[in-house]
Structure 1
Amino acid sequence: MNQKLEDIKQNVIECTECDLCKTRTNSVPGKGNFHSEVIFVGEAPGRNEDKSGEPFIGIAGKKLSEALEGAGITREEVYITNIVKCRPPNNRVPTAIERETCQDYLKEEISIIKPKIICILGNTAFNTLLGGSEITKFRGKLVQKNKQMYFLTVHPAATIYNQELIKVLKKDIVKLFDLVEELKNKKKVKIDIEYTT
C-alpha cells in the first residue's frame, strides 16, 4: 500500500473543487498496482463507477479486462484511472474546466507510480494529455513527450457500439505489453510521434 496514493485517494473522495461534486454519488479515484509499468487513463467514470466508487467496472471495464487477459495481464497488475474523477451528468464529455481542475490528481498519480508507459484510452484522454484528436488515426502508436512515453488506443466503451474495435483494442493491448517488455529488457523501442516542447 502506498501512503501517498492513499492520500490522493482520500483527497479525490472529499474533493469539491468543481461542480461535478454536486451531482456525483461517489468520486472515483484511480485503483490498482502502484508498482505498475503502465497507467491506463480513461475519460471519466460512468454510472456503474459512480455507484461503486471504482474505475472501469461497467461494460467498458469488462472489455478492458478481456483485452488485458488477451495479453496475459490481470487487472491487479496495472493501475487504472481517469482524466476526471467524478461522473459528468448523463455521461457527457467533461468540460475543459472540469478536466483542468482534476489534472493535478492525475499528475500526482503519475509521479508516484512512474509508469514506463501511460496508455491513453480514447479521445478525451488523448486531447487532455497530448492535445490530440481522432484517436482512431493514431491508435497503436507510441508517443514521447517530456521523457514520458504514451501509448494510444481506443476507449473500451467504443467497442460496445462498434464490434470491429474489439479486435483493435485487443491487438493494441498486446502491442503495449510487448513494448513494456522491451523497455524492461533495456531494448530500444520505436517512437512513432515525438513531441518537442
Structure 2
Amino acid sequence: MPLDEIALEELGLAPRWVRKGMSAAQSAAPNDEPAVDVAPEAAASVAAVPRPVAQSASDASDGFPDRPAAHLQHRADAPPQPVARRVTAQTSAQESMQESMQESMQESAQDAFAQAPAPQAPSGRAATEPTQAGPEEPPPLTEDDFAWFDGAPEPSLPHDPAPAPARAPRDDIATLDWDALAERVAFCTRCRLCEKRTNTVFGVGDRAAEWMLIGEAPGENEDRLGEPFVGQAGKLLDNMLRSLSLARGENVYIANVIKCRPPGNRNPEPDEVARCEPYLQRQVALVKPKIIVALGRFAAQSLLKTEGSIASLRGRVHEYEGVPVIVSYHPAYLLRSLQDKSKAWADLCLARDTWRAAGGGER
C-alpha cells in the first residue's frame, strides 16, 4: 500500500475521500496522455520504489468494510504503465487527495459546530436575573495593596516628648512681678545673644531703691558670675557710691540695658536692644527710682534714643519713663582715662541735687 494511503487510513479519512482521489487519478491519466520527460535520475528513483503487494478482498474488507475489494484487485491486476506516465498520475492523485482532505476537514468542523448544543436560559426565578459574563474583574490596586512591602509594625514604645519650641517673645512682661521677671530673663531666647552666654545678668541691689544705675552690657566677668559691675570697674563704682554715702544694695539698684554678654564685648545690635529693653522697662517700673544714672555712651544713647556723644549729653537732666536721668562715664572708661574722674564726680553731684529736688532722702 502507498505511503499516502497508509497515512489516510491512520487518520480515519479513507472511507470518505479515497474513492474521490483514485477516480481523479484515473481521470487525470488517460491512455492517450502524452508522456512527460523525466530525468534519468528521477526515473531511476521512482522505479526503485517497491510496488504495493496486491491484497485479497478479505484483507481489504477487514480493515475498511465500506471499501470495495474489487478496487484493490483491479490495481493489482492492472498492467504496468510507463514510468513517466505513472509519475504524472501519482502527482495528480496526491494533489487531488490533499484538496479532498481540506474539504473533508472543513465539512467535519461545520458538522461539529452545527451539532453543538445551544446554551439554555436558566428556568424559574433565576431566568429573570441577568447572567454574569464570567468572574468579576478585580478592583484596581491601591496603596493599601502594597502594604506587604513594608516591614512588620514596630511595637509601640514609650518615647520622649517632643522638645519644647523656643520661647517666642511675649508681650506680658509689663505684668510680671520680680520673681517671674527674673525667671523670664534667665530662660530668655528673644535674640541671638542667648546662644553664647554663660549666665544672664538680671540685676542686683535694693528693689525699692531711690537710686538706679544702668550700664550697657555684661562683660566677661559679669557673664561668668551673673552680676553687674564686678572686677576693677565694680570696685571703682563702689568707691564712687561711697563718696555719696551710698552702697551697693543700700538704696541703690544696679542693672544693664542688655542682660546677656555680646560675643567679644562688641556693642549690642539695635534689634538686640529692642528685644531686651522691655525687661529694663519693667525693672524701672518695679523699682520706682527717683533718679537714674546712665553709665557710658551706649547706655545713655539706648535710654534717651539718641546718637549724641557723652560730651553733648553730660551736665543736663534727661528723662526716661518719667524718671530724671543723668549721663556720666562708665567706670571701665575711667580706669583708662583718669583725667575724666573729676568730670564723673561732677555728674554724681548733679544726680544728688536732682534726687534731692525730687524728694529723695525723705523715706
- Give yes or no for TM over 0.5: yes
- 2:241 counterpart residue number: 68
Which of structures 1 and 2 has the bigger CA Rg? Answer: 2
Structure 1 residues 33 and 15, CA, compared in 2 at 3 Å: closer, same or farther? same
Q: CA deviation at 1:148?
A: 2.5
Please give the root-mean-square deviation of Cα atoms over the aligned residues, in Å: 1.8
1:134 Cα deviation after fit: 0.5
**1:157 maps to which of 332, 339, 343:** 332
Aligned residues between the structures:
184
Shift of 1:145: 5.3
Task: Name the residue aligned to 1:193.
Answer: none
> What CA distance in whole angstroms lies between the structure 1 residues aligned with 2:290 and 2:241?
17
Tell whether 2:315 aligns with 1:140.
Answer: yes
2:290/2:360 contact within 8 Å kept: no
Distance change >3 Å, CA 146–CA 113, structure 1 → 2: closer
Instruction: Please name the residue that 1:175 is paired with.
Output: 350
* CA displacement 1:49-103 (0-9 Å, x = unmatched): 0000001112222221111111111111201001100000111111101111100
| Other-structure match for 1:83 | 257
8 Å contact 1:40–1:118 — kept in the other structure?
Answer: yes
Do 2:185 and 2:202's aligned partners in 1 also have CA atoms closer than 8 Å? yes
1:147-182 C-alpha deviation (Å, 9 max, x unpaired): 331111111111021111222223322331232123
How many Å apart are 1:114 and its aligned residue?
A: 1.1
Distance 1:136 1:119, change over 3 A: same
| d(CA) in 1 for partners of 2:289, 2:351 | 13
Looking at structure 2, the residues matched to 185 and 47 of structure 1 have their Cα atoms a distance apart, in angstroms, of 34
Superposed, 1:37-116 pairs within 5 Å as 37-77=210-250, 78-116=252-290
Gaps of 5+ in 1: 187-197
Offset of residue 146 of structure 1 = 5.7
Are the aligned partners of 2:201 and 2:218 in contact in 1 as well (CA < 8 Å)?
Answer: yes
Distance 1:5 1:60 in 2: 27
**Does the 8 A contact of 2:191 with 2:275 survive in 1?**
yes
Counterpart-to-counterpart distance in 2, 1:79 and 1:180: 15
CA contact (8 A) 2:210 2:360 kept: no
Q: Give the share of equivalent positions with the same residue, in percent.
A: 36
SS in 1 for 2:179: helix
Q: Greater shift after overlay, 63-72 or 135-144? A: 135-144
Structure 2 unaligned residues grouped into runs of 5+: 1-175
Using CA pairs under 8 Å that are at least 6 residues apart, name the structure with larger relative contact order, 1 or 2: 1
Instruction: Give the alignment partner of residue 6 of structure 1, picking from 179, 189, 208.
Output: 179
Distance in 1, matches of 2:343 and 2:187, equals 37
Aligned twin of 2:299: 125
* TM-score, normalisation: structure 1: 0.86
Residues 36, 79 of structure 1: 8 Å contact kept: yes
Q: Is the 8 A contact 1:49 1:56 kept in 2?
A: yes
Normalized per residue, the structure richer in strand is 1
Distance 2:349 2:261 in 1: 29
